[in-house]
Amino acid sequence: MRTVYPSFLMLLIIMCSSLALSASNLHPPKPRPAALHVSFGPRTNGAEGGANGSFNLKVRANSWLPVTEAVLVKYYVTGTATEGADYDTLVHTVRIPGSWFGRGNVTIPIKVIDDGVYEDTEHIQIGILEARSVFHRRVDFDTSKITIDIADNDTSIPPDLKISVTTTDGTEGGSNGGITFSLQGNYIAPEDIVIAYNYTYPQSENTAVPGGDFDLNLAVILPKGAHSVTAPVTIYDDTQIETTEEVSVDFLYIYGADIGLPWYLNATGAGVNIYDNDGRLIITSTNGHEGGADGSFIFRLPPGVTAPVNGISIRFEVWGSAVQYTDYMGLTTDFGEVILPEGASELVLPLQIVDDNEAEPTEEVVIHVYEVSTIGYYPVALPYTVINDAALIEDNDSTALRQKMPGNELTVYPNPVVNNVIVTIPAAFTGGQAAVILSDINGRVIRRVVVKNRKEVLNVSDLPHGTYFITVTNGKKQLTKTIVK
């Protein structure tokens, strides 16, 4: 007969093992309890200009064993108080030292900042984010948060608080302007405050026109929690030459539900200047030729821009190597003025070339503009740009004629003279230390001019009637002519 006992025993062992494994899955082992526990200890509130706040973190053992190792704790901060503005920035990590007495704790100070701003009592909320033992023992911690208050020390906003007004000017085609309303000191608005205003009347010639020169809302809200607000002045870029205009406003009222009226402004009105960008005059020239085309000076406004009412005054003076009435006509050697008429955008000042039958180098007429302005009770100086202020006069006389020119002749014209005398200087006397000297019959030197060109102009209009001498010298030799005034 065959024996089966060993197989039966093996089957019984396997069945018992399976039952034991199933029982362990139904009842897993309990987790190992934490050895340490971190919680909050005493806390103190703070106040601006007074005591600082603080909070305490402590560690306890969950058994009879003492807390011999340090515990590192990370914490987070929320609340209505702003870190770095209402109190100094915290580290957010702290080390609680161990203790043989079974307890460890640490106090974290909160340094309150006295910001000078009126505000409600603010709050700091602190919670534990993580805690771990340096010996790697398991640590648990409180999950609730604590609250620390920061009391304000600033007085409530007074009912007669001033609102200061500052303005920012603007430019057509450039930056816009603005009117800024700011609360006195460091106060902030406890609620939304409405500031309303209107345009100043009567308006003057320099008053900007709403909708034509600028755009501005006639009320602005100073938001709750803000110290100031700016009402933007949007400036329109037109093509009209204008004086500097002003956006002028007067204030109607200031309104807030709980601000304790009346508040008042420290200004009865405000003005924003609008600077014009359309008056820049461009100055250029064209060259001329003896026996051919005349030259000219051209004064031109930007495209689309025309001269305003009464026109634009352009004042200038003329100089250069070419001589009035001898080399050209049409300008004055003294100070002159021309008018760009109302509605015009360009003015051409002709330079009539004189064909003098004198062989000479290319000469030039230089126009120096020193003032451009509108015409009226309130003239406005306008900017200008010089592209070319010199017109050249090309000579047409032959080389043969040029070779026949005397090289040592000094001429003066006109003679007698009333205002200006033109001195033609021999070529041998030009350059170096050559000079033209005007003296009276007693030998007294009245004027001395360093020679720069072969023709120099002397103004003698301020001299009394009489006889005078014009001498040209280069230090080695000289020539003299007599003139009568």
The string of pLDDT tens digits covering residues 232-252 is 999 998 877 777 888 888 777
Q: Where are the alpha helices (DSSP H) in 34-177?
A: none
Q: Which helix (H) or strand (E) is 21 found in, with range?
A: helix 5-26
pLDDT of 16 reads 56
Q: CA-to-CA distance for 185 and 362, rounded, in angstroms?
A: 71
pLDDT of 260 reads 44
Residue 63 — very low, low, confident or very high, per pLDDT cuts 50/70/90?
Answer: confident
Average pLDDT of 401-414? 63
Q: Which residue ranges form the domains of the chain, and what is each CATH number?
A: 36-151 (2.60.40.2030), 162-275 (2.60.40.2030), 281-394 (2.60.40.2030), 406-484 (2.60.40.3080)
- Looking at per-residue confidence, does 270 or 247 come out higher? 247
pLDDT exceeds cutoff 90 at 115: no
pLDDT exceeds cutoff 80 at 193: yes
- The candidate with the shortest Cα–Cα distance to 476, out of 429, 442, 412, is 429
pLDDT of 25 reads 53
Query: Percentage of the chain surpassing pLDDT 90?
Result: 26
Q: CA-to-CA distance for 164 and 185, rounded, in angstroms?
A: 10
Q: CA-to-CA distance for 42 and 50, rounded, in angstroms?
A: 19
pLDDT of 267 reads 47
pLDDT of 111 reads 96
Q: Which helix (H) or strand (E) is 6 found in, with range?
A: helix 5-26
Residue 254: CB atoms within 10 A of its CB come to 20
pLDDT of 202 reads 58
User: Residue 66 in contact with residue 84, Cβ under 8 Å?
Assistant: no
User: Residue 327 in contact with residue 379, Cβ under 8 Å?
Assistant: no
Beta strands 467-473 and 435-440: pairing type?
antiparallel
pLDDT of 120 reads 77
pLDDT of 382 reads 82
What is the DSSP annotation of 257-281? TTS-SPPEES-SEEEEEEE--S-PE
pLDDT of 262 reads 45
- Distant-in-sequence, close-in-space partners of 367: CB < 8 Å, separation ≥ 6: 283, 285, 297, 316, 317, 318, 331, 349, 389, 390, 391
Judged by DSSP in three states, 22 sits in helix
Mean pLDDT of the chain: 81
pLDDT of 196 reads 85
pLDDT exceeds cutoff 50 at 318: yes
Residue 263 — very low, low, confident or very high, per pLDDT cuts 50/70/90?
Answer: very low
Q: CA-to-CA distance for 226 and 118, rounded, in angstroms?
A: 11
pLDDT digits (tens, 9 = 90+) for 342-398: 989 999 999 889 887 777 788 888 888 888 888 887 777 888 888 777 888 888 875
Residue 135: CB atoms within 10 A of its CB come to 13
User: Residue 435 in contact with residue 388, Cβ under 8 Å?
Assistant: no
pLDDT exceeds cutoff 80 at 203: no
Average pLDDT of 72-84? 94
Q: CA-to-CA distance for 305 and 382, rounded, in angstroms?
A: 13
Residue 332 — very low, low, confident or very high, per pLDDT cuts 50/70/90?
Answer: low
pLDDT digits (tens, 9 = 90+) for 3-48: 444 555 556 555 655 555 454 455 555 556 678 899 999 999 999 9
Would residue 116 be called left, alpha or beta, if left means φ above 0 and alpha means ψ between -120 and 50 degrees?
left
- Distant-in-sequence, close-in-space partners of 273: CB < 8 Å, separation ≥ 6: 169, 170, 177, 244, 245, 246
